[in-house]
């Protein structure tokens, strides 16, 4: 498994390298994000047991990234999000490597590509004021619900009850338009530099606002065999997210996050299921 994990990480590194060139070509800002930024600071590369790679972008650059991709897509990759893959259940974008497979539990029968990926997260701004933030958080919750389209399994009783009501009131055909309206409201303070930055991908990140000037200054930090873009105030971000981030967790917690049921570095999952290549031997 260690050998497979390392091959997975190096594949993700290749994806990141191509994304980095793409962003430089179109003057797009991005930063390593979450555990990947922690890896750059603490390990100068991947956290040894990490099985994914995350970057983030200000919403403006994120939208431009997607728009530019439409006429200048990176060869060999697939840009995937809710807008082009309706069954996709995340509010961010994945860049998937074609002719690979990374199948997580529950993805065995989905109708979208499940190749090895790098996650691309948009960063927005949270309004000031307690009441405004309360409405903002509720809109983010609805946006996430209408993106995932299922009741959150880890929510408390009240969250599950409200989610069930909202999904009943907004049937599947109404959710795309509802998502558009919610996102317009969520992002309407993005030009206000007096508002804190925030990642809206999950409730825990919504509840942890980021510095106002998060993307004002970027630096290149060592990550594996190259240098990649990172927010200059990485210490503020990592402290807010992880606390004492320089102390590794206990060995019992050093495990893969995604628990894939199948990994293949040469074949799409569809090719494997159809058995078009009899020599295909999936790595599990």
Render pLDDT for 226-273 as a digit per residue (tens, 0 to 9).
999 999 999 999 998 999 999 999 999 999 888 899 999 999 998 898
My answer on whether 88 and 7 are in the same domain is yes
Q: Tell whether 21 and 118 lie within a shared domain.
A: yes
Q: Are residues 162 and 255 in the same domain?
A: no
Residue 128: pLDDT band with limits 50, 70, 90: very high
Q: Reply yes or no on whether the pLDDT at 195 is more than 50.
A: yes
In a shared domain, residues 101 and 224: yes
- pTM comes to 0.93
- On whether residue 281 sits in a domain, the answer given is no
Are 114 and 139 in a shared domain? no
pLDDT higher than threshold 70 for residue 276: no
280 occurs within a structural domain: no
Is 262 inside a domain boundary? yes
Does residue 203 lie in a domain region?
no
Would the pLDDT of 150 be above 60?
yes
Mean pLDDT over residues 119-142, rounded? 96
> What is the per-residue pLDDT for 274?
80
In-domain check, residue 198: no
- Residues 120 and 134 reside in one and the same domain: no
Same domain, 74 and 164: no
Question: pLDDT digit string (tens) for 57-104?
Answer: 999 999 999 999 999 999 999 999 999 999 999 999 999 999 999 999
Co-location of 74 and 31 in the same domain = yes
For the chain, what is the domain count?
2
Alpha-carbon Rg of the chain, whole angstroms? 19
6 and 136 part of one domain: no
Mean pLDDT for 98-113 is 92
pLDDT digits (tens, 9 = 90+) for 37-52: 999 999 999 999 999 9
| pLDDT for the residue numbered 284 | 38
| 154 and 267 together in one domain | no
Statement to judge: residues 39 and 106 lie in one domain: yes
Count of Cβ atoms closer than 10 Å to residue 259 Cβ: 9
284 in a domain, yes or no?
no
The domain of 218 spans 2-125+211-274
CA 72, CA 9: separation in Å to the nearest integer?
Answer: 26
Residue 28 has pLDDT above 50, yes or no: yes
- Compute the mean pLDDT over every residue in the chain, rounded to the nearest whole number: 93
């Amino acid at each position: 498994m260690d050998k497979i994990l390392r091959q997975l990480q190096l594949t993700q590194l290749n994806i990141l390298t191509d994304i980095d060139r793409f962003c430089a070509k179109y003057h797009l800002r991005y930063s390593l994000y979450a555990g990947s930024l922690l890896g750059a600071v603490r390990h100068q590369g991947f956290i040894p047991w990490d099985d994914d790679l995350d970057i983030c972008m200000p919403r403006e650059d994120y939208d431009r990234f997607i728009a530019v991709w439409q006429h200048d897509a990176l060869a060999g990759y697939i840009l995937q999000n809710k807008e082009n893959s309706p069954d996709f259940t995340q509010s961010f974008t994945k860049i998937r490597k074609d002719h690979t497979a990374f199948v997580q539990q529950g993805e065995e029968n989905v109708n979208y590509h499940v190749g090895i990926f790098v996650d691309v997260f948009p960063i927005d701004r949270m309004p000031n004021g307690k009441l405004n933030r309360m409405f903002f958080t509720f809109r983010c919750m609805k946006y996430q619900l209408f993106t995932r389209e299922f009741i959150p399994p880890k929510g408390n009783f009240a969250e599950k009850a409200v989610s069930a009501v909202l999904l009943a009131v907004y049937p599947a055909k109404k959710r795309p338009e509802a998502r558009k309206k919610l996102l317009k409201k969520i992002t309407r303070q993005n030009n206000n530099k007096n508002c804190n930055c925030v990642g809206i991908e999950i409730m825990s990140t919504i509840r942890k606002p980021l510095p106002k000037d998060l993307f004002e200054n970027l630096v290149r930090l060592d990550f594996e065999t190259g240098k990649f873009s990172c927010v200059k105030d990485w210490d503020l971000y990592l402290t807010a997210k992880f606390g004492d981030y320089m102390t590794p967790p206990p060995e019992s917690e050093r495990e893969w996050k995604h628990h894939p049921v199948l990994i293949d570095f040469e074949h799409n999952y569809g090719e494997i299921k159809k058995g078009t290549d009899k020599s295909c031997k999936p790595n599990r």
